Amino acid sequence: MSIARISKKQTIAAAGALAAASFILKETLGYEPVTIIVMVATTIVAGTPIFKKALGALRYWIVGIDALVTIAVAGALIIGEYWEAAAVTFLFSFGDYLESRTIEKTRSSIKALLDLAPLKARVRRGGLEIEISPEEALKGDLVVVKPGEKIPVDGTIVEGSGYVNQAAITGESLPVSRGVDEKVFSGTVIESGYLIVRADRVGDDTTFARILHMVEEAQDKKAKTQKFLEKFSRFYTPAVIALSIALYLFTKDLRLALTLLVIACPGALVISAPVSIVAGIGNGAKHGVLVKGGEVMEKLGAVKVVAFDKTGTLTIGKPAVKSLVAFGISEEELLRLAAIGEVYSEHPLAKAIIREAEARLGSALGAPQGSPPSLPDESAIIPGQGVRFRTGGKTYLIGGRKLFEGSAAGIEKHEAYLTMEERKGRTAVLVGDERGVLGILSIADIVRKEAKRLVADLRSLGIRRVLMLTGDNARAAAAIADELGLDGYFAELLPEDKVRVLGDLQKVHGRTAMVGDGVNDAPALASADLGIAIGGAGSDVAMETADVVLMSADIGKLSYALGLSRATVRNMKQNIGFALFVAVSLLAGVLVKTVNLSFGMLVHEASVLLVIVNAVRLLGYGKKATSPVKEA
Amino acid sequence: MVTKTYQLEAVHCPSCVAKIEGMLKRTKGVEKSEVLFNSSRVHVSFDETALSSEAIKSKISELGYQVLGEK
């Protein structure tokens, strides 16, 4: 490949020198034999590759731009327009060369992503450490990774800890700390530390490989506008060829007909949409936003309503103790009792209590952080209500308010507090003994910190309705909708209800995007005009179903994705508008005879280059501002 | 019937796409083909008994596009 490139470069350099010589000779000596010889030499040097390509294509009955240029150049030589022939061939091959270089730029972000693929894996087999290619790694292999190296598999850490840069997966380049039992992804880099990872997924099954596959597929998924343009140019080129033949037959003006031929290929027009799209998708991929194709870009930019799933999307999806009150005992003692009572429970609320107890009391309990709290001496589950347990010679109760109703515990005096907490969308867990309530813990899911800002950003981007669809109860939904300032919510929905609600929203408000995370959201993601999955490194189903995947858990990226899609569509429209303008101007210019052969070629090539350069600008989108860029 | 993907050197003009597509359409044994512009790849579904993968690769190379790999 490099040899081909050098020789192409040399050909163009030689043609350039010859073209310059022709020009100087023409201006100083005029059309002397020597001038004509140099001009013909230019044409031969620059034109031979074009002529060869044209022949190759003609064998399959395809008339491409090479054939048109060849005919035009042959015609020019026949009628004695040697300078035109030299200039046209040189401009065409030089333009072609520049285009190939700049167009590679538009694809550079995606190429950079491909280059992140791991190249080797060091695995322990039979007591030996051997180096193999990542495709040869097997599920269950123990993989050793050292600082600066790429993790070659998706796996679980069995030994060691370190800081991992997950930019390849999430677009976030701030390293995260990872230790034993935590998951790491193929393609991510260990910045410091040393890990032994058990391979869970290898080769094409890794998250990174699947992301790559999706990005590669995405860049060639055409936008609607693009499909239309391709149809248009399929008629345009033959129409202009027919027009040139007709013109020649009527006017017998060969020069005019040849000029028309040269401008017949709407290069800038055909290239205008795909270059913008590949640059836009590349930019997104670099920032952890996967947009699956040109049509999705167009749709995303025109979204009117954004509907969010609640748990795991607007919230972290992990309940936590938000506040606690203790009566007659210390807060620490309350937490300790609660943790002992809930130790056997698998309920998410119980886990929240245990996490909180571990975080706050880990050392106070005399046990290192992360170890289980002390066990109760006796424990009995009261179904649907809570747990009765014994510790330190006393019997305690832990659970919802039902557990204490009708007992001598005197729950009545806490009624006002309980109601207040419930209005905030929190679940109250009470701890008590026979004599009374010892304390109340309020538990709620944590709203993602970037969610509030996102809602405001979406508004400023002109989204008409920001809504929430959730399977959770109305109270919890109302509390979060209120906290985030949403336009509304739909609560207690089953997955199929979400599909129905989305259908209604689409009818009333127009284009609706659904943002979700989990498997249960897949039907909704599929049925919305646009499905947006959060945290692609999490759920495979959501990632496959969605049209847009935000690779990291940072939902703030949504406003970035929206801004990027609009910038991409705008860029595409600029390109198309410009290309159409050039095509029409050239056609008119040729017909009124102000545009000659070489000038037509110059404008044609320059317009193609400009379109590509405009698309390259998209690669810089979002570099400075992290907030959404306002519509120009 | 098998489907293969060929990775070409960077294809940068839309008429190259048309050329390769046109060639494949006229090649006996090719059932379906698609040339992807941005990723510079070619998907070809073809009848193995009538056509070999090597033949497809050499036909693409003859048009002037180097085949860098196949999958």
* Residues of A with a known catalytic role: 309
Cβ partners under 8 Å of residue A56, min gap 6: B19, B62, B63, B64
Q: Search chain A and give the residue with CA nearest B37.
A: A220
Is the distance from CB of A307 to CB of A512 less than 8 angstroms? Answer: yes
Whole-number mean pLDDT of chain A?
85
Query: What is the 3-state composition of chain B as percent helix, strand, coil, each rounded to the nearest 5?
Result: 30, 35, 35
Answer whether residue A2 shows pLDDT above 50: no
- Residue written as tokens 């060969």? A254
Question: Which pLDDT score is estimated for A629?
Answer: 42
Question: Which pLDDT score is estimated for A630?
Answer: 41
Least Cα separation, residue B15 to chain A (angstroms): 6
Cβ contacts of A278 on chain B, cutoff 8 Å: 38
Mean pLDDT (whole number) for A579-592 = 89
A570 falls in which pLDDT band (50, 70, 90)?
very high
Answer whether residue A454 shows pLDDT above 90: yes
Pick A564 or B15 by higher pLDDT.
A564
CA angle A502, A506, A507 (to 5 degrees): 120
Question: Which pLDDT score is estimated for A105?
Answer: 84
Q: Search chain B and give the residue with CA nearest A66.
A: B15
Least Cα separation, residue A132 to chain B (angstroms): 20
- Contact flag A56-B66 (C-beta cutoff 8 Å): no
Cβ contacts of A107 on chain B, cutoff 8 Å: 10, 38
Question: Which pLDDT score is estimated for A243?
Answer: 87
Tokens linked to A345: 């429970």
A626 falls in which pLDDT band (50, 70, 90)?
very low
Amino acid at A19: A
| ipTM at complex level | 0.83
**Cα–Cα dist A151/A189, whole Å:** 6
Answer whether residue A480 shows pLDDT above 60: yes
- Contact flag A107-B26 (C-beta cutoff 8 Å): no
Question: Which pLDDT score is estimated for A3?
Answer: 47
Cβ contacts of B37 on chain A, cutoff 8 Å: 220, 274
**Cα–Cα dist A292/A526, whole Å:** 13
Answer whether residue A246 shows pLDDT above 70: yes
**Cα–Cα dist A410/A434, whole Å:** 10
Mean pLDDT (whole number) for A161-182 = 84
The partner residues of A253 in beta bridges, in order of sequence, read none
- Contact flag B38-A64 (C-beta cutoff 8 Å): no
Cβ contacts of A62 on chain B, cutoff 8 Å: 18-19, 22-23
Least Cα separation, residue B69 to chain A (angstroms): 13
Mean pLDDT (whole number) for A556-577 = 93
- Among A56, A61, A99, beta carbon nearest to B63: A56
Q: A-B interface: how many C-beta pairs under 8 angstroms? A: 71
- Contact flag A62-B22 (C-beta cutoff 8 Å): yes
Least Cα separation, residue A109 to chain B (angstroms): 12
Pick the closest to residue A442 from A413, A460, A417 (CA basis). A417
Question: Which pLDDT score is estimated for A536?
Answer: 59
Percent of chain A predicted with pLDDT > 70: 94
Answer whether residue A617 shows pLDDT above 90: yes
- Contact flag A65-B38 (C-beta cutoff 8 Å): no
Question: Which pLDDT score is estimated for A342?
Answer: 87
**Cα–Cα dist A439/B4, whole Å:** 67
Percent of chain A predicted with pLDDT > 90: 26
Percent of chain B predicted with pLDDT > 70: 100
Is the distance from CB of A499 to CB of A523 less than 8 angstroms? Answer: yes
- Among B18, B62, B64, beta carbon nearest to A62: B18
Most distant pair of Cα atoms in chain B: their distance: 33
Tokens linked to A28: 């100083």
- Contact flag B22-A60 (C-beta cutoff 8 Å): yes
Question: Which pLDDT score is estimated for A5?
Answer: 53
Most distant pair of Cα atoms in chain A: their distance: 119
Cβ contacts of A216 on chain B, cutoff 8 Å: 39, 41
User: What DSSP state is assigned to residue A310?
Assistant: I
A618 falls in which pLDDT band (50, 70, 90)?
very high
Mean pLDDT (whole number) for A134-160 = 90
**Cα–Cα dist A579/A432, whole Å:** 76
- Contact flag B64-A96 (C-beta cutoff 8 Å): no
- Contact flag B13-A65 (C-beta cutoff 8 Å): yes
Pick the closest to residue B26 from A237, A59, A65, A51 (CA basis). A59
pTM of the predicted protein model: 0.79
Indicate the range of A289-303, A421-435, A525-539, A599-613 predicted with least confidence: A525-539
Question: Which pLDDT score is estimated for A156?
Answer: 93
Cβ contacts of A52 on chain B, cutoff 8 Å: 64
Pairing of strands A305-309, A465-469: parallel
Question: Which pLDDT score is estimated for A408?
Answer: 67
Question: Which pLDDT score is estimated for A303?
Answer: 92
Q: Search chain A and give the residue with CA nearest B17.
A: A64
Answer whether residue A409 shows pLDDT above 80: no
Q: Is the minimum CB–CB distance between B39 and chain A shorter than 8 Å?
A: yes
Q: Half-sphere exposure of A513 toward its Cβ, with a 13 Å CA cutoff? A: 28
Q: Search chain A and give the residue with CA nearest B63.
A: A56
Question: Which pLDDT score is estimated for A519?
Answer: 65
Pick A64 or A331 by higher pLDDT.
A331
- Contact flag A60-B23 (C-beta cutoff 8 Å): yes
Angstrom distances, CA of residue A168 to CA of A108, A113, A190, A434, A561: 15, 7, 12, 57, 17
Mean pLDDT (whole number) for A259-267 = 79
Pick the closest to residue B13 from A568, A614, A65, A262 (CA basis). A65
Mean pLDDT (whole number) for A293-306 = 91
- Contact flag B26-A274 (C-beta cutoff 8 Å): no
Question: Which pLDDT score is estimated for A350?
Answer: 85
Q: Search chain A and give the residue with CA nearest B35.
A: A220
Mean pLDDT (whole number) for A68-95 = 89
A456 falls in which pLDDT band (50, 70, 90)?
very high
Cβ contacts of B36 on chain A, cutoff 8 Å: 219-220
> pLDDT (tens digit, 9 = 90+) per residue, A525-547?
888 999 998 875 556 777 888 89
CB atoms within 10 A of CB A450: 16
- Contact flag A96-B13 (C-beta cutoff 8 Å): yes
Indicate the range of A200-209, A267-276, A372-381 predicted with least confidence: A372-381
Question: Which pLDDT score is estimated for A627?
Answer: 44
Residues A558-592, buried b or exposed e (16+ Cβ, 10 A)? bbbbbbbbbbbbebbebbbebbbebbeebbebbee
Q: What is the DSSP secondary-structure string of A169-198?
A: HHS--S-EEE-TT-EE-TT-EEEEEEEEEE
- Contact flag B14-A60 (C-beta cutoff 8 Å): no
Three-state helix/strand/coil letters over A345-414: CCCHHHHHHHHHHHHHHCCCCCCCCCCCCCCCCEEEEECCCEEEEEECCEEEEEECHHHCCCCCCCHHHH
Mean pLDDT (whole number) for A272-299 = 90
Put simply, the chain B residues between 42 and 71 with a CB less than 8 A from any chain A CB are 62-64, 66, 68
Least Cα separation, residue A313 to chain B (angstroms): 33
Cβ contacts of B19 on chain A, cutoff 8 Å: 56-57, 60, 62, 64
Indicate the range of A386-395, A464-473, B9-18 predicted with least confidence: B9-18
Q: Search chain A and give the residue with CA nearest B64.
A: A53
Question: Which pLDDT score is estimated for A373?
Answer: 56
